[in-house]
Structure 1
Amino acid sequence: MRIAFLTAPEGVEQVELTEPWQAVTGAGHEAVLVSPQPGEVQAFNHLDKADTFRVDQVVSEASAGDFDGLVLPGGVANPDFLRMDGNAVSFVRDFFDQGRPVAAVCHAPWTLVEADVVRGRVLTSWPSLRTDLRNAGAEWVDEQVKICDHGPNKLVTSRKPDDLKAFCEALLDVFSTETAGRSG
């Protein structure tokens, strides 16, 4: 499997990028860091600068069809930046249009709201997004991990870094099952 990780140039919560990345690569799959700008992305540990990570592909040159799934890490600034970038929003929407699985943790569903792909879906997130998600037509639940299959693709969501173990297990299971279903 080839999995895209979409992050803004600055503001991604490091652990929400690195733990799913390690789960994907540890399972023998390819992880690709996609961002609106080339170079590096600056990760954060909450509000403090953390490590930087090399961008593999610029989102304007990426296609959902080149990937088996999409992971959207959180961090408050990360999805706020992404939802203001038309190429990033289109990239996310294309995964839904093509029926490819998506996983989003913490604040990342803000980007899903902007892509207008949450209507009729059940998902979880950081609690402060509850009203935004409901206003966008989603049903919000307070669960460690939620897998929603209402729509053209499966959507895996989690609330926070403490949920990452369950999030990673769910996304690997869903992505593997969905990829096998498309190729079989």
Structure 2
Amino acid sequence: MGAPKAGLLAPGVFLGIAQDMGVMASIDQWVLRQSLKYCAQLMAAGKEVPLSINLSVDSLADMYLAERVAAALEDANVPARLLEVEIPEGTLMRDVGASGKVLAELHAMGVRISIDDFGTGYSSFAYLAQFPVHALKIDRSFVNEIVTSETSRKIVRGIVRLAHSLSLEVVAEGRRANRRWGGCAE
């Protein structure tokens, strides 16, 4: 077996394969532990930097996820308040009962929770009120078209208003950088 020839691969290239192979939860755990390790190094250098990681549907279905996250936080000596987990909108709806339980446990630990790619999935606003969510991350497809599409502007404005009415932060995901809106500014 020779050395890999493709070089670095974008996540979109291999994540589907990892999902099919059933190894996403293991990858999520590795990413969590590595990220917390770097976060701890920054803390040792006097810089407290929040950390946000994406979780797959496999991890959200793991009834021991909160225990695994707690152990990883303890091993790295990083406070839970510095960790934010991002859950894709559609993932929440796969098993609402299990998702709600796992998210409630993470929330009780002090971990922040955000719904990623908001506006592209099929979740119900009733479910949005049931989950312990701190932030909505508006999908980049709307944000990238905000200048050229009146419809996208209206959708983004509506999501921001909805989020603020629920006392949630909003992150507008785009090509260059994320912008976080707290408070009620639009």
- TM-score range, shorter-chain basis? 0.3 to 0.5
Higher relative contact order (CA 8 A, sep 6+): 1
Q: TM-score scaled by structure 1?
A: 0.36
Looking at secondary structure, tell me which structure has more helix per residue: 2
Looking at secondary structure, tell me which structure has more strand per residue: 1
Q: TM-score scaled by structure 2?
A: 0.36
| Larger Rg belongs to | 2
